[in-house]
Amino acid sequence: MDIAFAGSTSIKKVLPVLALDLTHNGMALASGTNAMQSWKRLIVLADSEEKDNLRSAMLAYCKFNTYAMVRIYKVMERF
């Protein structure tokens, strides 16, 4: 484990070290905690613009994290 990970293996700690060009900054959802809270809200909301926006934000967050994991894997593959 790299000291720059600050003792964590979370995407939020590993990504800035291994893929400097990727960041959660500016995303509507920027943490796993936010995503979990948003999911709880999403499943009880009636169909609405708010629900559509929340769903879109969650999909963007999941898409980003999936891509982030691929990038981390590609870096780790070299070792």
**The whole model's pTM is what?**
0.84
Q: What is the pLDDT of residue 9?
A: 84
Q: Which domain holds residue 62?
A: 6-77
pLDDT of residue 2: 77
The confidence score (pLDDT) of residue 1 equals 67
pLDDT at 50: 96
Please check whether residue 51 is in contact with residue 57, taking contact to mean a CB–CB distance below 8 angstroms.
Answer: no
Is residue 60 in some structural domain?
yes
Using CB atoms within 10 A of its CB, is residue 44 exposed (0-12), middle (13-18) or buried (19+)?
A: exposed
- pLDDT means per 10 residues in the chain (79 residues)? 81 88 91 94 96 97 96 92
Residue 1 covered by a domain = no
| Domain tally, the chain | 1
